[in-house]
Amino acid sequence: MSSKIQIPAIQGRASDWQAHTHQDKELVAGLGLTSATMLVMGSMIGSGIFIVSADISREVGSPALLVAAWVVTGFMTIVGALSYGELAAMMPRAGGQYVYLREALGPLWGFLYGWTLFLVIQTGTIAAVGVAFGKFLGVFFPSVSASHWIIHLCKVPAIPLGPMVLGNMDVGLNTQNLAAIAVVVALSLVNIFGVKTGALIQNVFTFTKIIALLGLVIAGIFIGRNAQALAANFHGNFWRNAGLSVHHAVQVGMGGPIALVGTLTIVAVAQVGSLFSADAWNNVTFTAGEVKNPSRNLPISLALGTGAVIAIYLACNFIYLSVLPLAGDAHGATILQRGIQYATEDRVATAVMSQMFGPAGSWLMALAIMISTFGCCNGLILAGSRVYYAMAKDGLFFRSIAKLHPRHKTPTTSLMVQMVWTCLLCVSGSYGQLLDYIIFAVLVFYILTIIGLFVLRRTHPQVERPYRAFGYPALPGIYIVMALLIDIVLLRYKPQYTWPGLIIVLLGVPVFYVWRYVNKNPVPAA
């Protein structure tokens, strides 16, 4: 047996390639169209929509550009989903995006994606969303707090490295991250008992948080409209600071110099928050091996799920602008004085609900965010474990992770390994910094995957494509250009968000070749 991992690149007949990428037979196809769509929506909606508009508004300083940031994110998300639909219908395998990169560009690129997903993207997001659950649980139980330590191991000092700062975090167990760990452990264990059980939880919590967001929108339309906010944000002021000739101030890196940039550049800079809030729509592709009639249901669920969430996100931002003025004072005494820009702890949705309903509004929003984060954690846990399972089957991760539960046919070991690493991130306090680093890397892999769509059209033109990407080649090409421009802008003006993510990805290259060398008996691809 060769000492190198052998993942065959299928170049022959269409039937040979299709057999290599056919839906996994050992998994249970328990996700219908409704469950797949709920997984798309539930994985996207976490805590971001409730918070990030504050930071975006401070960056852009304009109601129109706040909306523009979400419109750009929405366009890219929907185009990306429509493009992935073709790949998902062609290759309905567990692992989704990992499989697409492996087949189009080679096993190294698939490994780098899986490596980054496990180390940072999926597990770091689960940890952060779980801690957000604990943070809002503290609204009801004040003893649940980041300052209420059970075991405080150490304080890692801030370490400046050029434009970024590492460290500056507390390591240990407090009641807030304990709540996060409890959620992660509970949901990981529940997902062992079959994909249908995980899907049931996902459907219930996703439906509930969609109702909560629609309730926010409806209440804002009929109850929350505020004359001061409408005058400040709409009556002749909507387009302020939005002209193409306007210059905006942006700080380069952490504590770096202030640079003046154009309107298009500042919108690109502001994408960090909105793109993160709309991310994880691709998670349904990770579970493709368990989707019924995947060639039909995967493209439809991607289109329906992303379209619905983006519509809700845009509606929420118009409600924010209808209830609170965009500009505010960081030291303002009232909710209206602080505005969207300086909502307490950036909790814009909470400030909106408080403005409409008083103290009861804060409680209602805290409950809605807890429901949202709980459901989001479940979707991320369910989906992420399928990628490591697929990598293990290819010999690119520990082979034991490819084991399935003998009765429920779920990737039990993969779920447990993901759970342990996520819990370690919760205790380490590093997940917040990790999340800052991932959006650049996430965009890189989206770009590479859509390039893979073009590659497979050329190298495998004869393969059956039950769904073809809408607007090909124009829309996928536009996505690649837009994503590249955003990554270039972030490299220039937000290096603290980009270089660490790039370094994490590149560290996977030697790991891949070491793994190939030491793995004497790889598990061949199915």
Alpha-carbon span 507 to 470, nearest angstrom: 35
Does residue 395 contact residue 519 with C-beta atoms inside 8 Å?
yes
As a whole number of angstroms, the distance between CA 202 and CA 216 comes to 21
Q: What angle do CA 19, 20, 21 make, to 5 degrees?
A: 90
Q: How confident is the model at residue 440 (pLDDT cuts 50, 70, 90)?
A: confident
Q: Is domain 14-518 in CATH 2.40.50.140, yes or no?
A: no
| Nearest-angstrom CA–CA distance, 512 and 205 | 38
pLDDT at site 28:
85
Amino acid identity for residue 464 in this structure: E
Is residue 78 within 8 A of residue 307, CB to CB? The reply is: yes
The answer to whether 396 and 408 have CB atoms below 8 angstroms apart is: no
Over residues 422-445, mean pLDDT: 81
| Residues contacting 184, CB < 8 A, separation 6+ | 126, 127, 130, 377, 381, 419, 422, 423, 426
Give Dmax over CA atoms of the chain in angstroms: 75
Q: How far is CA 389 from the centre of its chain?
A: 20
Mean pLDDT of 234-245: 90
Mean pLDDT of all residues in 243-272: 88
pLDDT at 234 over 70: yes
Express each pLDDT in 75-117 by its tens digit. 999 999 999 999 999 999 989 999 999 999 999 999 999 999 9
- Mean pLDDT, to the nearest integer, of 336-360? 92
Rounded to a whole number of angstroms, the CA Rg of the chain reads 23
β-strand partners of 169: 156
Which one-letter DSSP state was computed for residue 7?
A: -
Confidence check: pLDDT of 393 > 80: yes
7: confidence class by pLDDT, cuts 50, 70, 90: very low
Question: Residue 321: which residues within 8 A CB-CB, separation 6 or more?
Answer: 63, 66, 67, 229, 233, 234, 340
Per-residue pLDDT tens over the stretch 505-520: 999 999 998 888 877 6
On whether the CB atoms of residues 51 and 346 are closer than 8 A, the answer is: yes
Residue 476: cis peptide before it, omega within 30 degrees of 0: no
Name the CA dihedral angle for 31, 34, 37, 42, rounded to a multiple of 10 degrees.
Answer: -90
Contacts of 200 (CB under 8 A, 6+ apart): none
Contact 45, 206 (CB under 8 A): yes
Q: Which amino acid is at 415?
A: L
Q: Please give the mean pLDDT across all residues of the chain.
A: 89
Q: What residues does each domain of the chain span?
A: 14-518
